[in-house]
A and B are shown apart, each in its own frame.
Chain A
Amino acid sequence: MKLLTGNDLASGDVIWWTGSGWSRHVADAVDVGAEGDALLASESAARRVNAAYVIDAEATTAGPLPLHIKERIRASGPTVRADLAINTEIPIVKA
Chain B
Amino acid sequence: MYSYDKFDQAIVNARVEEFRDQARRRLAGELTEDQFKPLRLTNGLYLQLHAYMLRVAVPYGTLSGPQMRMLGSIARKYDKGYGHFTTRQNIQYNWIKLEDAADILADLATVEMHAIQTSGNCIRNISADQYAGVAADEITDPRPWAELLRQWSSFHPEFSYLPRKFKIAVIASTQDRAAMRLHDIGLELVERDGVVGARVFVGGGMGRTPMVAPEIRDFVTEDEIISYVEACLRVYNRYGRRDNKYKARIKILVHELGADEYRRQVEEEFAQMKALKLDPPVEELARIRAHFADPAYETGLSDTIDRSDPDFALWVDQNVAAHKQPGYSIVNISLKPVGGIPGDASADQIELMADLAERYSLNELRVTHAQNIVLPYVKTADLKALWTELDAAGLAPANLDLITDIIACPGLDYCSLANARSIPVAQKIAKRFTDSGKEKTIGELKLKISGCINACGHHHAGHIGILGVDRKGTENYQLLLGGSGAEDASLGTITGPGFDENGIVDAIEKVTDLYLAQREGDERFLDTYRRLGMAPFKEVIYG
Interface residues of A (CB under 8 A from B): 7, 9-14, 44, 47, 50-51, 67-70, 73-74, 77-81, 84, 93
When chains A and B are docked, how far (Å) is the Cα of A21 from the Cα of B80?
Answer: 26
Contact count A vs B, C-beta below 8 Å: 71
Instruction: Given A74-B49, A78-B414, decide whether A68 and B473 contact each other with a Cβ distance below 8 A.
Output: yes
Contact (Cβ within 8 A) A47 B29:
yes
Contacts of B52 in A (CB 8 A): 7, 12
Q: Does B99 contact A (CB under 8 A)?
A: yes
**B 464-482 to A, binary, CB cutoff 8 A, 1 in contact else 0:** 0000001001110000000
When chains A and B are docked, how far (Å) is the Cα of A13 from the Cα of B473?
Answer: 24
**B 307-330 to A, binary, CB cutoff 8 A, 1 in contact else 0:** 000000000000000000000000
Contacts of B501 in A (CB 8 A): 93
When chains A and B are docked, how far (Å) is the Cα of A84 from the Cα of B418?
Answer: 20
Say what secondary structure dominates the interface of chain B. mixed
Q: Does B261 contact A (CB under 8 A)?
A: no
Interface centre among B27, B33, B96, B414 (most CB of A within 10 A): B33
Contacts of B49 in A (CB 8 A): 14, 70, 73-74
* In-complex Cβ contact of B413 among A11, A47, A79 (8 A): A79
When chains A and B are docked, how far (Å) is the Cα of A49 from the Cα of B67?
Answer: 34
Q: Does B341 contact A (CB under 8 A)?
A: yes
Contacts of A70 in B (CB 8 A): 49, 412, 416, 418
Interface residues of B (CB under 8 A from A): 26-27, 29, 33, 47, 49-52, 80, 95-99, 341, 412-414, 416, 418, 421, 423-424, 427, 470, 473-475, 501
**Which residue on chain A has the smallest CB distance to residue B475?**
A69
Interface centre among B33, B50, B418 (most CB of A within 10 A): B50
Question: Nearest-CB distance from B213 to chain A (Å)?
Answer: 33
Contact (Cβ within 8 A) A77 B474:
no
When chains A and B are docked, how far (Å) is the Cα of A84 from the Cα of B95?
Answer: 10
Question: Nearest-CB distance from A85 to chain B (Å)?
Answer: 10
5 tightest Cβ-Cβ pairs between the two chains A and B: A12-B51, A12-B52, A78-B413, A80-B423, A47-B29
When chains A and B are docked, how far (Å) is the Cα of A44 from the Cα of B35?
Answer: 13
Contacts of A10 in B (CB 8 A): 27, 97-99
Contact (Cβ within 8 A) B96 A12:
yes
Question: Nearest-CB distance from B56 to chain A (Å)?
Answer: 17
Contact (Cβ within 8 A) A11 B412:
no
When chains A and B are docked, how far (Å) is the Cα of A69 from the Cα of B499?
Answer: 17
* In-complex Cβ contact of A51 among B47, B50, B421, B424 (8 A): B47
Instruction: Given A11-B98, A69-B473, decide whether A51 and B413 contact each other with a Cβ distance below 8 A.
Output: no
**Which residue on chain A has the smallest CB distance to residue B45?**
A12
Contacts of B427 in A (CB 8 A): 80
Contacts of A84 in B (CB 8 A): 80, 95
Contacts of B47 in A (CB 8 A): 7, 12, 50-51
Question: Nearest-CB distance from B475 to chain A (Å)?
Answer: 7
When chains A and B are docked, how far (Å) is the Cα of A67 from the Cα of B474?
Answer: 11
Interface centre among A44, A70, A79 (most CB of B within 10 A): A70
When chains A and B are docked, how far (Å) is the Cα of A47 from the Cα of B27?
Answer: 8
When chains A and B are docked, how far (Å) is the Cα of A78 from the Cα of B97?
Answer: 17
When chains A and B are docked, how far (Å) is the Cα of A9 from the Cα of B31?
Answer: 12
Contacts of B414 in A (CB 8 A): 78
**Which residue on chain A has the smallest CB distance to residue B423?**
A80
Sample of 6 A–B contacts (CB below 8 Å): A12-B50, A12-B51, A77-B50, A78-B50, A79-B421, A79-B424
Instruction: Given A78-B413, A80-B427, decide whether A11 and B421 contact each other with a Cβ distance below 8 A.
Output: no
Contacts of B423 in A (CB 8 A): 80
Contact (Cβ within 8 A) A12 B33:
no
Contacts of B470 in A (CB 8 A): 69
Contacts of A81 in B (CB 8 A): 341, 413
* In-complex Cβ contact of B97 among A12, A51, A73 (8 A): A12
**Which residue on chain A has the smallest CB distance to residue B50?**
A14
Question: Nearest-CB distance from A78 to chain B (Å)?
Answer: 4
When chains A and B are docked, how far (Å) is the Cα of A10 from the Cα of B96?
Answer: 10
Question: Nearest-CB distance from A71 to chain B (Å)?
Answer: 10
Contacts of A50 in B (CB 8 A): 33, 47
Instruction: Given A69-B474, A74-B49, A93-B475, decide whether A9 and B98 contact each other with a Cβ distance below 8 A.
Output: yes
Question: Nearest-CB distance from B409 to chain A (Å)?
Answer: 13
When chains A and B are docked, how far (Å) is the Cα of A13 from the Cα of B424?
Answer: 23
Question: Nearest-CB distance from B147 to chain A (Å)?
Answer: 33
Interface centre among A12, A14, A68, A93 (most CB of B within 10 A): A12
